[in-house]
Amino acid sequence: MLLYALRRLLLAVPLLIGITFISFLVIHLAPGEPSEIQTGDMSIQSDKQMRERLREEYGLDKPLHMQYWNWFSRLTRLDFGKSFSPDARPVLQKISERLPVTLLLNVVEMLIIVALAVPIGALSATRQYSTFDKVTTVFVFVGFATPDFWLALLLMILFGVQLGWLPISGLRSLNWEYLSFWRQQGDFVGHLLLPIVVATFGGLAGFSRYMRQSMLEVVRQDYIQSARAKGLAERVVIGKHALRNAMLPIVTVLGLSLPGLIGGSVIVESIFAIPGMGQLMVQAVFERDYPVIMGNLVIVATLTLVANLVADITYSFVDPRIRVGGRRGRR
Amino acid sequence: MKPFASAGPLALTLALALGGCGGEADSAVEQVGARGGEKAAYGDTFIEALTGNISGLIPNILSDSASFEVGSLIYSGLVMRDRDLNVVPELAESWKFSKDCLNLTFKLRSNVRWHDGQPFTASDVVFTYDTMINPKTPTAYREDFKAVESVTAPDPLTVRIRYKQPYAKALQSWGTWVLPQHLLEPYVREGKLREAPQNRSNPVGTGAYRFNQWKPGEKVVLVANPDYFEGRPYISRVVYRIIPSQATIFLELKARGVDSAGLTALQFKRQTEYPAFRKAYHKYQYPANAYTYLGFNLKDPRFADRRVRQAFAHAIDKRELIDGVLLGLGRDATGPYKPGTWAYNGNVRTYPHDLEKARALLAAAGWRDKNADGLLVNRDGQPFKFELMTNQGNDERKKVAEIVQASLKELGIQVEIRVIEWASFLKEYIKKRRFEAIILGWGIGLDPDQYEIWHSSKTGPDELNHISYANPEVDALLDAGRSSCLQEDRKKYYDRLQEVLAEDQPLVFLYFRDALPVVSARVRGIVPAPNGIRYNFNEWYVPKHLQRYTAG
């Protein structure tokens, strides 16, 4: 097992290099350079000299493979470089100030999704074609089909403008500094409520469908039959034998959505004016701020690889069949 | 400089001149609710929405409009523009030009202090000049100072500037934000101005507002400067909230979460006409500093013929365009200068909608409908067919392109519209001159010098005369216009320039759109003027009983 994990870890290194190299190439292929954007491209003041100097400072005058090498060798020392944006702050600092809110939002969203999707999926599977199943199916497809931004705007109009119950956008009220501690927490939760609802709504659809499918498969298995034959109560059959097994694929899906936790949703963050990773990334792309884009990418890529590995390993722990298979395979 | 020009970076912005503050060269056409009678009071918070995060706090080295807006309250220049767009003293008390326009002397105010308490002196001005001209400073505004021969400070309240040759924009260029020498000198010397703490967390200026906090991506807070040299401003706090989505800003406006925003024509005309909104906000309307045009690649032999361009001008109904695209909230352009500004000349050739004239002009240029199929062909029988390009993300321009397409179809000209993503549009098509015709806009500066756009020497790949216009008379007028410091002399050259451009139609000038800001009705002291509404922000106030935010 340990050897297996080690081998996978070693394989991840060339994979990571490959990912970063290709991304580096693609990003640099996009038209427009930060030096051009900053010196007022297409503006009367546009200054050629300045542009050349900035290119030099950013290292954009060197051939692409040299640029990649410079970037990569810094990365091996865990130096993500400085942002190309005019505040020239370290990339890690920029990311770390945006990360907490995105992480919070996504973790809460994920917990809610799992907490709701598992029972919904299980119930609609065990009562296949019942009214409950039909209603949830419709609901789920509506959830799939509803664009985030549209739902967000509707909710904002209803709860923010018409009823005035919830704040429309941002993270804190303007008078936040002057509120008592509990009021501050309440204010913060109030601001996060709508974004979480919107983000959950879309995600819930996929997850509960997944759960339903997996459950449907499990209840058709022989061991469920034998559990029933043993004379166990239906609740025990479903709750203990079926549900546990049906959860297996969910573990994989959950593991794979781990990197998404720090990615941030561009649409939700932009609409609700939440200063998270999604917004940082979009702005970096518009400004062609290569170090920030690449920094973000390295983190997400690393997390994806790690999550893959973790999911595989957990899977083998949860499912004894895999473990046995693995041993046999190595022999 | 507010980006009224269009949706953010989508305007081809010319001349983002770092003028004093405020800066919309606009004339008021509607004055709503300038009620008097209430006593000016200190206090309250003004909340503004910015669509983009600011990129730093020293605007001299930045280029985004959000940073300019915030910077204009923190810093001041030697001169600024008043309500009628005249250049007036700000940090300077007075100035004097020598007769030959080569020597400019500023007398400075004596009571000015930096936000950290240090006195402001002439050496700060010299330092700012040195900073701007230093090749290590990453600024896009060096051009303004290249004509300067020397800047000296004979005494702490006098600045002497000598120019190599007369420079028309000399005076206006000193609207540049003055930077504090005592804090920034070491950073400038090392070429690390961007990394100075003043650019990231505590800028020090001489303006009406002091910096309080910047939460990246969330908000910027400024507080009134009690020692401001023109007296403490009334509104005690200004909060810029960063809200990337225009739709969200509009909803925040409806829920009174922000105090001011620019509206679209649709919002202005159709979505804000209910009583509650009219009561909560005052609407303003004045022409913005940008015009939209139909441009041609003049290297293309079909468009090199002036009669063809004039025919196009006759074929396009500008009124229909303004009504259809802007719901009537704009005015037609006769040239590159905005009506109401001193350089504007309204007495030029115009092109009323007239299809017969257009047909006659095209026929004279050799384009006729030979087989009565409704399509124009030249002597060799080739049909008149071209591609009209514009950039993605600007709905307005797409609609303009469609109306132009329909208008030209009536003449028998086939137009194909192509919409391309902004960055590749610039790089692959505009800069490489790979286009036949385009719909684009120019943002115009406060000075009428448009050398970069019309002069025949500016047709290189990275330069702005991308339509490749060349006219010796225009070249001479542009040269003359930029080398005098006397407005009366310059006016003559620019008047003639507009006559020539109107006759030549190097591009079809379409319209100036209106800027459509709204401001919370509790704010008083707003006087719309040719310079828009923001020029006297320091004099805005909220009467005591209407103040909404008391904390701070």
pLDDT tens-digit series, residues B378-389: 888 889 999 999
> B85 and B341 in contact (C-beta within 8 Å)?
yes
All residues of chain A having their beta carbon less than 8 Å from the beta carbon of residue B141 are 45
Position A243 scores a pLDDT of 84
What is d(CA B149, CA B165) in angstroms, rounded to the nearest whole number? 9
Helix (H) or strand (E) holding A112: helix A91-126
> B345 and B389 in contact (C-beta within 8 Å)?
no
Position B240 scores a pLDDT of 95
**Does the pLDDT value for residue B1 go beyond 50?**
no
Of A31, A271, A282, the CB nearest to B424: A31
The 3-state DSSP class for residue A285 equals helix
The chain B residue lying nearest A271, using CA atoms, is B245
Q: CA of A127 to nearest chain B CA: how many angstroms apart?
A: 42
Total residues found in chain A within this entry: 331
The mean pLDDT value for B180-208 works out to 92
pLDDT-derived band at B228, boundaries 50, 70, 90: very high
Which residues, including other chains, have CB under 8 Å from residue A52's CB and lie 6 or more apart?
A61
**Does the pLDDT value for residue B33 go beyond 50?**
no
Copy the structure tokens of residue A207: 């997850």
Better pLDDT: B340 or B31: B340
pLDDT in tens, A82-131: 888 888 888 998 999 888 888 898 889 889 988 988 888 888 888 888 88
pLDDT in tens, B233-282: 999 999 999 998 889 999 999 998 999 999 989 999 988 888 989 999 99
Helix, strand, coil share (%) of chain B residues, nearest 5:
30, 20, 45
Better pLDDT: A244 or B300: B300
Q: CA of A40 to nearest chain B CA: how many angstroms apart?
A: 6
Tell me what the pLDDT averaged over chain A comes to.
83
Distance set, CA B272 to CA A117, B263, B275, B517 (Å):
41, 9, 8, 12
Closest CA to B288 of B6, B65, B510, B68: B6
All residues of chain A having their beta carbon less than 8 Å from the beta carbon of residue B52 are 283
Copy the structure tokens of residue B531: 């310079």
Better pLDDT: A59 or B248: B248
pLDDT-derived band at A42, boundaries 50, 70, 90: low
Residue B427 sits at the chain A interface (C-beta within 8 Å): yes
Copy the structure tokens of residue A324: 């046995």
Half-sphere exposure of B339 (CA within 13 A, CB side): 16
Better pLDDT: A2 or B54: B54
pLDDT-derived band at B32, boundaries 50, 70, 90: very low
pLDDT-derived band at B302, boundaries 50, 70, 90: very high
Closest CA to B353 of B274, B434, B407, B282: B407
Position B521 scores a pLDDT of 93
Helix (H) or strand (E) holding B386: strand B385-391
Parallel, antiparallel or unpaired: strands B507-515 and B260-262: unpaired
Closest CA to A254 of A206, A213, A215, A217: A206
> B42 and B454 in contact (C-beta within 8 Å)?
no
Residue B215 and residue A275: Cβ atoms within 8 Å?
A: yes
Residue A87 and residue B138: Cβ atoms within 8 Å?
A: no
Residue A40 and residue B424: Cβ atoms within 8 Å?
A: no
**Does the pLDDT value for residue B85 go beyond 50?**
yes
Residue A326's beta-bridge partner residues? none
Instruction: Name residue B9's amino acid.
Output: P
pLDDT in tens, B451-491: 889 999 988 877 889 899 999 999 999 999 988 888 888 99
> B436 and B296 in contact (C-beta within 8 Å)?
yes
Burial A20-49 (b: 16+ CB within 10 A, else e): beeebeebeeeebbbbbbbbbbbbbbbbee
What is d(CA B142, CA A39) in angstroms, rounded to the nearest whole number? 10
Position A40 scores a pLDDT of 57
Position A45 scores a pLDDT of 55
pLDDT-derived band at B505, boundaries 50, 70, 90: very high
Q: Which residue in B136, B201, B218 has the most chain A C-beta atoms within 10 A of its own C-beta, making it the best mutation to test that interface?
A: B218
Q: CA of A303 to nearest chain B CA: how many angstroms apart?
A: 25
What is d(CA B90, CA B23) in angstroms, rounded to the nearest whole number? 14
The mean pLDDT value for A172-178 works out to 81
- The lowest-confidence range among B31-45, B69-83, B115-129, B206-220 is B31-45
pLDDT-derived band at B24, boundaries 50, 70, 90: very low
pLDDT-derived band at A41, boundaries 50, 70, 90: low
Closest CA to B67 of B143, B128, B140: B140
Across the A/B interface, how many CB contacts are shorter than 8 Å?
155
Position A326 scores a pLDDT of 47
Q: Which residue in B67, B187, B252 has the most chain A C-beta atoms within 10 A of its own C-beta, making it the best mutation to test that interface?
A: B252
- The lowest-confidence range among A32-41, B165-174, B252-261 is A32-41
Closest CA to B179 of B203, B201, B143: B203
What is d(CA B546, CA B40) in angstroms, rounded to the nearest whole number? 11
What is d(CA B258, CA B249) in angstroms, rounded to the nearest whole number? 8
What is d(CA B343, CA A130) in angstroms, rounded to the nearest whole number? 77
Q: Computed over its alpha carbons, how large is the radius of gyration of chain A?
A: 25
**Does the pLDDT value for residue A236 go beyond 70?**
yes
The pair phi, psi for residue A155, each rounded to 5°, is -65, -40
Tell me what the pLDDT averaged over chain B comes to.
87
The 3-state DSSP class for residue A180 equals coil
- The lowest-confidence range among A48-62, A147-161, B245-259, B518-532 is A48-62
**Does the pLDDT value for residue B15 go beyond 60?**
no
DSSP code per residue over B126-173: HHHHHHHH-TTS--S-GGGGTTEEEEEEEETTEEEEEESS--TTHHHH
Taking only residues 217 to 256 of chain B, the set having a beta carbon closer than 8 angstroms to any beta carbon of chain A reads 217-219, 239, 241-245, 247-248, 251-252, 254-255
Position B506 scores a pLDDT of 94
The chain B residue lying nearest A157, using CA atoms, is B251
At which residue do the structure tokens 């990003």 appear? A27
Closest CA to A33 of A84, A88, A94: A84
**Does the pLDDT value for residue B509 go beyond 70?**
yes
Position B287 scores a pLDDT of 87
All residues of chain B having their beta carbon less than 8 Å from the beta carbon of residue A153 are 247, 251
Copy the structure tokens of residue B245: 């989505």
